């Protein structure tokens, strides 16, 4: 049974659990054992809640035996990024400042997964305070990419993506305020969804792990179908989150398998074009051809003020993050890495007028995207401009693009985030799916975005692409 579980998905295993051919206890034990064997080389988990997981699995098994099957997530083991509160389980957000914090409540998204019967295996590693795209964490260690352990897993939800890619869980929750679900999903070859702003409650997300007006609770999964099942469980209004949206939740599974013939897609062009590496460009072009062969129509797309997006994003994030960190900067400044401390101190010097001006420009950009999406059903672009960087290169502060060494970070933030941030500024939903591999054997991501609350369209297009490609059949080779 071991091999089938390792390569399997929620969609495949749930019917086995429902019909009592596979027990949640057996499944949980499989993942706990695999974590024991592989986590030392990947550092995907920072905490494994072994006893709790066993107890929850036994309870799920009992419920199912007694005929109380809750649905497709019942008995499914999952992991949670360490900035989403978990009742009774330490939530440190990648920082020693919170290293002793044991929340009294679950984040709403975590609570909803538990209500659906899912089994929490543990907490996954992340970039310190989610402020970066590498998951090179000086306090909790570096998460390594399962496809090549000398390379980064991406970030800030790097532990979640590595855990899903290495079959250390069947799904994970992360957060995304600039790239943080889609970037690691792309780098680890899994599916990563940043839903519409407000679609999933942010109640229980640690303050200061992403600007509140750009942050989203997102999903990392093995395939598009699993991603839709997880979103179904966690989406919807939450009275505990004043930023949560009160819009009806669609039946996402109904989008899987729908044809895409006749859908119009815009290939989003902008300030990131010049950075896109040849290998990424080639794989992206092949992915577009594949979707064209399914009957989708493509043309180039952009908005008049696209170039303002990095400034809007950075001004917004710096001010909102600095406000959240202000008390810790006064009392715990020694418990930040120097790089993170410098970033927050510098952010305190951002003028209030700049923040307000950024929100004016943001409304302009949001209106322009809404107009653009009257012409197109979806927008497509690469998730990351370049292939997965080496850990050592990132430590030295650069990435290699087409043989040239380029500074990884400038005033716009990490270069890896530049294709993702338009959808954090606008709050529009976006998904990343694997669209091939680099010559070095690491995954490359295709990003698809849609209008507000049109996650159903994302699933429709992403699942159609997944059906006609075989990228998912290739798996990372990890030595047990």
Partner 1 sequence: MIERVRKLALEYALDLTEEETASIARQTESYERLFRVLHEIDLSGITPLLKLDLKP
The residue ranges that bind partner 1 (CB under 8 A) are 196-198, 213, 243, 245, 247, 305, 307-308, 310-312, 314-315, 318, 329-330, 333-334, 338, 341-343, 345-346, 348-350, 354, 356-364, 366, 410-412, 426-428, 451-454
Angle between helix 224-234 and helix 108-115 axes, rounded to 10 deg: 110
State in angstroms the smallest separation of the CB of 36 from partner 1.
41
For 245, phi then psi, to 5°, come to -90, 145
Instruction: Please tell me which residue in 8, 23, 79, 81 is annotated as part of the active site.
Output: 81
Number of continuous H segments (helices) and E segments (strands) in the chain: 15, 19
Residue with Cβ nearer partner 1 (247 or 393)? 247
Q: Is 180 a residue of the active site? A: yes
Cβ neighbourhood burial of 153 (10 Å; 0-12, 13-18, 19+) = buried
State in angstroms the smallest separation of the CB of 94 from partner 1.
21
Instruction: Please tell me which residue in 79, 172, 180, 432 is annotated as part of the active site.
Output: 180
Residue with Cβ nearer partner 1 (161 or 452)? 452
Cis peptide before 38 (omega within 30 of 0): no
Q: Tally the C-alpha atoms within 13 A of residue 81's C-alpha that lie toward its C-beta.
A: 34
Long-range contacts of 331-340 (CB under 8 A, 24+ apart): 332/97, 335/95, 335/96, 335/97, 336/95, 336/97, 336/128, 336/129, 337/128, 337/138, 337/139, 340/128, 340/129, 340/131
Residue recorded with tokens 């750009």: 214
State in angstroms the smallest separation of the CB of 213 from partner 1.
6
Instruction: Please tell me which residue in 79, 95, 156, 244 is annotated as part of the active site.
Output: 156
**C-alpha to C-alpha distances, 460 to 128, 150, 205, 465, nearest whole angstrom:** 34, 35, 29, 9
Q: Which of 211, 208, 210, 175 is nearest to 194 (CA)?
A: 175
Residue with Cβ nearer partner 1 (67 or 248)? 248
DSSP code of residue 205:
B
Write out the two tokens for 77: 């083991």
Residue with Cβ nearer partner 1 (123 or 454)? 454
Strand 378-382, strand 264-268: pairing: parallel
Q: Is 239 a residue of the active site? A: no
**Cα 14 from Cα 45, distance rounded (Å):** 24
DSSP code of residue 84:
B
State in angstroms the smallest separation of the CB of 258 from partner 1.
18
Q: Is 333 a residue of the active site? A: no
Q: Which of 71, 106, 115, 18 is nearest to 229 (CA)?
A: 71
State in angstroms the smallest separation of the CB of 195 from partner 1.
11
With beta carbons less than 8 A apart as the criterion, state whether 135 and 152 touch.
yes
Residue with Cβ nearer partner 1 (166 or 358)? 358
State in angstroms the smallest separation of the CB of 309 from partner 1.
10
Residue with Cβ nearer partner 1 (37 or 333)? 333
With beta carbons less than 8 A apart as the criterion, state whether 127 and 155 touch.
yes
**C-alpha to C-alpha distances, 461 to 251, 259, 383, 415, 456, nearest whole angstrom:** 15, 8, 15, 27, 9
Residue with Cβ nearer partner 1 (284 or 369)? 369
Residue with Cβ nearer partner 1 (11 or 195)? 195
State in angstroms the smallest separation of the CB of 114 from partner 1.
28
Q: Which residues are catalytic?
A: 81, 156, 180
């Amino acid at each position: 049974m071991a091999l089938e579980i390792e390569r399997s998905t929620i969609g495949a295993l749930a019917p086995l659990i429902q019909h009592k051919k596979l027990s949640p206890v057996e499944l949980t034990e499989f993942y706990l054992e695999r974590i024991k064997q592989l986590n030392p080389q990947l550092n995907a988990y920072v905490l494994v809640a072994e006893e709790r997981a066993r107890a929850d699995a036994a309870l799920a098994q009992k419920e199912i035996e007694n005929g109380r099957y809750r649905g497709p997530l019942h008995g499914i083991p999952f992991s949670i990024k360490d900035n989403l509160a978990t009742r009774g389980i330490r939530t440190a957000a990648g920082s020693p400042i919170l290293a002793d914090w044991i929340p009294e409540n679950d984040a709403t998204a975590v609570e909803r997964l538990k209500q659906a019967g899912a089994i929490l295996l543990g907490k996954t590693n992340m970039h310190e305070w989610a402020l970066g795209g590498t998951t090179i964490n000086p306090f909790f260690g570096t998460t390594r990419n399962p496809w090549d352990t000398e390379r980064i897993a991406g970030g800030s939800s790097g532990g979640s993506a590595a855990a899903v890619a290495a079959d250390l869980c069947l799904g994970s929750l992360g957060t995304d305020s600039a790239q943080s679900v889609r970037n690691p999903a792309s780098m680890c070859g899994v599916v990563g969804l940043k839903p519409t702003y407000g679609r999933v409650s942010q109640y229980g997300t640690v303050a200061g792990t992403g600007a509140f007006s750009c942050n989203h609770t997102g999903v990392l999964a093995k395939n598009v179908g699993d991603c839709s099942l997880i979103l179904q469980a966690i989406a919807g209004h939450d009275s505990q989150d004043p930023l949560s949206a009160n819009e009806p939740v669609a039946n996402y599974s109904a989008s899987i398998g729908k044809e895409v013939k006749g859908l119009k897609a815009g290939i989003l062009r902008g300030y990131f074009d010049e950075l896109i590496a040849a290998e990424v460009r080639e794989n992206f072009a092949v992915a577009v051809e594949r979707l064209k062969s399914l009957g989708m129509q493509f043309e180039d797309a952009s908005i008049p003020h696209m170039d303002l997006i990095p400034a809007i994003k950075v001004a917004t994030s710096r001010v909102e993050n600095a406000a959240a960190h202000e008390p810790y900067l006064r009392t715990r400044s020694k418990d930040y890495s120097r790089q993170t401390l410098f970033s927050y101190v510098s952010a305190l010097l951002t003028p209030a007028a700049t923040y307000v001006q950024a929100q004016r420009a943001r409304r302009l950009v949001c209106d322009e995207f809404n107009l653009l999406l009257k012409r197109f059903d979806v927008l497509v672009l690469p998730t990351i401009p370049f292939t997965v960087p080496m850990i050592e290169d990132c430590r030295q502060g650069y990435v290699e693009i087409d043989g040239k060494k380029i500074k990884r970070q400038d005033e716009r933030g990490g270069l890896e985030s530049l294709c993702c941030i338009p959808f954090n500024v606008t709050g529009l939903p976006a998904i990343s799916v694997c669209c091939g591999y680099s010559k070095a054997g690491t995954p490359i991501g295709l990003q698809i975005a849609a209008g507000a609350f049109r996650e159903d369209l994302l699933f429709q297009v992403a699942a159609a692409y997944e059906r006609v490609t075989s990228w998912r059949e290739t798996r990372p080779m990890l030595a047990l």
